[in-house]
Amino acid sequence: MRSVFEIAVTVLPFALLWALAVFAVQQEFYWGLLLTIPAAGFLVRLFILQHDCGHGSLFTERWLNNWLGRLIGVFTLTPYDYWKRTHAVHHASAGNLDRRGIGDVDTKTVEEYRALSTWQRFLYRLYRHPVVMFGLGPAWLFVCQYRLPLGLMRAGAQPWISTITTNLAIVLPIALMIWLVGLVPFLLVQVPITLLAATAGVWLFYVQHQFEDTHWSKDDDWSFQQAALHGSSHYDLPLPLRWITGNIGIHHVHHLAAKIPFYRLPEVIRDYPELKDVSRITLFQSLGCVKLTLWDEESRRLISFREERVARPQ
């Protein structure tokens, strides 16, 4: 019943804000487009529901988690079964230098970066640039990349079935909404909601693992518990942002025990206060994470391109 309640207080406000924004545009009250900002927040929260379905933590019945996750995936533009599989790989290998690749922000070590050619360095620096990472990248990820099972294209039929059926299912509500409200109002409302939510989602995922004192280690020294607690952040957000993002900022606890529903995560911090300050970063501190781009194996921390350049041997 608690999960049903969380679904209701996410879906209903999202639908209401979307409808009000469309109505405002139809009446040429374009200030109503400001409603796309909170609507994007509720779309992020909708993704958190899908995320918990993928971990089997929203309901006890697996089939209910899976079918709800697939349904939500139509609105978040995320093929559920494909994403669930790549996300499981992320949880199983986060912080492992020998198992990077799927479901992670591409992070190179200082040594790897120095071994790149000039062109390869340029491409990596371009990839890590804030305009690409938080602007073009999120749009590409949710609008384009998720239309194919990239990374799992030779992993059997399921990733293909997941992406193709989701693509086909996305067409139905889009066509229905365009028929009901018109093409221009639909685009003026839906495009900013999608782009804002995509950027917010990528930002959250970035901050959850890309902070200065995060944890990375080689396969021989890697342990699940160490990587969970110290390689994932406690993004201590103000209460309203904590709620709209589904407590996903309590990410170190989530990685340690992914079966805990998102609405129970604050109870873990309450009952185990020693976890509160583990890997904790504030909203203000998180802004400084943008410049951190390389893992320095000697100092065991993330550093910036500038720090690498200063420390580079002549």
Report the half-sphere exposure of 45 (CA within 13 A, side-chain side).
26
pTM above 0.85, yes or no: yes
- For residue 47, the tally of other CB atoms under 10 A from its CB is 27
Domain layout of the chain by residue ranges: 2-311
Single-letter amino acid, residue 303:
I
Q: What is the pLDDT of residue 200?
A: 97
Q: What is the pLDDT of residue 281?
A: 96
Structure tokens at 62: 């697996």
Q: What is the pLDDT of residue 314?
A: 66
Q: What is the pLDDT of residue 165?
A: 96
Closest to 205 in 3D by CA, of 133, 110, 297, 124: 133
10-residue mean pLDDT profile of the chain (314 residues): values are: 96 97 93 96 97 96 96 96 93 89 86 95 96 94 91 88 95 94 95 97 95 91 92 95 96 95 96 94 95 93 93 78
Q: What is the pLDDT of residue 277?
A: 93
Q: What is the pLDDT of residue 312?
A: 83
Q: Are 268 and 275 in contact (CB under 8 A)?
A: yes
